Amino acid sequence: MARGPALWLGPLLLVSLWASSAPASLLRCLAEHMQQFQESSSLGLSLGPGAVALPKEGWLEQPLDPFNASDRRSFLQRYWVNDQHWTGQDGPVFLHLGGEGSLGPGSVLRGHPATLAPAWGALVIGLEHRFYGLSIPAGGLDMAQLRFLSSRHALADVVSARLALSRLFNVSSSSPWICFGGSYAGSLASWARLKFPHLIFASVASSAPVRAVLDFSEYNDVVSRSLMNPAVGGSPECRAAAAAAFAEVERRLRAGGPARAALRAELGACGALGRPEDQAELLGTLQALVGGAVQYDGQAGAPLSVRRLCGLLLEGRGNGSRPAPYRGLRRAAQVVIQSLGQRCLSSSRAETVAQLKVTEPQVSGVGDRQWVYQTCTEFGFYVTCEDPGCPFSKLPALPSQLALCEQVFGLSISSVAQAVARTNSYYGGQTPGATRVLFVNGDTDPWYVLSVTQALGPSESALLIPSASHCLDMAPERPSDSPSLLLGRQHISQQLQTWLRLAKESQGRGGV
């Protein structure tokens, strides 16, 4: 089956997870931009003097429906292999799981688990998630196909990949397999250990939102707190300025006429802002812009940090000019648009719905249609701002976000609520009960509130890194890394050491 060239683009380890339309698109583009930036840095390193060989790309034939033995259809699932440090068939295997986006060769070359492999002589394998990147089954993304897209299907792929790759690379039956993943893939890593403890010896789950939730108002609670946190460059004045900026946007939208037209031009909105749904779309995109600065704070390739955003919002406030915060928000929007190479900010609900209805796989590999489908059928994750303390607009409200499931997929609101409850029942939410899982989170990351942040038992450990953003522990090391991040990575390494010593003892006793 012919495939395109292996590009050093977009593994999307840090994808936004946000489910609503335009905000999702902006955050996911942010994530893709950062991954491209980091991948290109890795490529430069890999081509330098004394560089390691490039990872190998491979394909596994997987059953389209692993739960129906009479269905003979299959698809090709992409994987990447880095065997530079592998000490041989008895060495451990670090399995890096892909999530809701394309998985590139950087998944086995930079950041953990790749940086942890040399110390343990590990084989590193990256497995792309079904229906994302180039692992899309023939037949496209219509509803008949999408019923084979779920976390349960992805876990079945992990099982069959584990067995097939063991044979392919002649891995010893006593070698421990350890799963790694970040964001949704972090949840998959923890669930792989939960559901298949005989195949997966342990898991490191970074920024893993294991609790599904319909109304995710807590996201903006964390964003609000982070904007006030001096440790990352925030302040009470910054949060107040953000609130003032959004109030000014809403004032101009209500004013209509020339004020609204000027707002559209100044913010670089793609379309007219006459309809309420288009106004909500723009306000959601602006929320995502601020949320993205917090979610990816301090990460390589991120156009805005909390410190820079607050600097823009507070610039010129001393001269008594009331719209100063709004001007700062406008400049922040320009920074993000230019960084992402976009021509304007998404503000058309109809255009968003039309794009999500496209069933042809998108070349970019971002996978918006697929991920929105998973939020409608499994996770929810609809970020709202309806709490009194939220500094942004109350729009888009939860009903308009849930309406996407109906408009795009024909799924009722009640079915989405039932799906969220079913997911938590199946996996256990924030008390999953899996042993030998380390949950790693940063307290600047809005997603940490859906993860496990305190140890649930002696073999269910958790690590909360102060002032760290989404999946930051998985990123390549940088000179600017904080002492708490360095300590966090050291903790992960020590936990691995404990597990692998346990695995060796188990090997000695004749079983894992």
Residues belonging to the active site: 183, 445, 470
Task: Give the single-character DSSP code of 361.
Answer: P
Task: Give the single-character DSSP code of 101.
Answer: S
Return the exposure string of 376-399: e unless at least 16 CB atoms fall within 10 Å of the residue's CB, then b.
bbbbbbbbbbeeeebbbbebbbbe
Task: Give the single-character DSSP code of 269.
Answer: B
Q: In sequence order, what are the residues at sequence separation of 6 or more whose Cβ sits closer than 8 angstroms to the Cβ of residue 463?
A: 438, 439, 440, 441, 488, 491, 492
Tokens found for residue 416: 């989405």
CB contact at 8 A, 117 and 124:
yes
Tokens found for residue 427: 């996996």
SS3 325: helix
Return the exposure string of 148-169: e unless at least 16 CB atoms fall within 10 Å of the residue's CB, then b.
bbbbbbbbbbbeebbeebbeeb
Look at residues 492, 476, 479 and name the one whose alpha carbon lies nearest to residue 109: 476
Tokens found for residue 247: 């109030």
How far apart are alpha carbons 186 and 201 in whole angstroms? 15
Q: Is the peptide bond before 113 cis (omega within 30 degrees of 0)?
A: yes
Q: Where are the alpha helices (DSSP H) in 296-397?
A: 306-314, 324-340, 349-356, 368-374
Look at residues 404, 343, 361, 294 and name the one whose alpha carbon lies nearest to residue 21: 404
Q: Which helix (H) or strand (E) holds 174?
A: none
Sheet with 177-182, side-by-side order of all strands:
56-63, 74-82, 123-127, 93-97, 177-182, 202-206, 437-442, 460-465
User: Which residues partner with 180 through β-bridges?
Assistant: 96, 204
How far apart are alpha carbons 189 and 301 in whole angstroms? 26
How far apart are alpha carbons 303 and 326 in whole angstroms? 19
Counting every residue, how long is the chain?
512
SS3 211: coil
Residue bearing tokens 């406008």: 330
How far apart are alpha carbons 32 and 8 in whole angstroms? 11
> How close are the terminal C-alpha atoms of the chain, in Å?
37
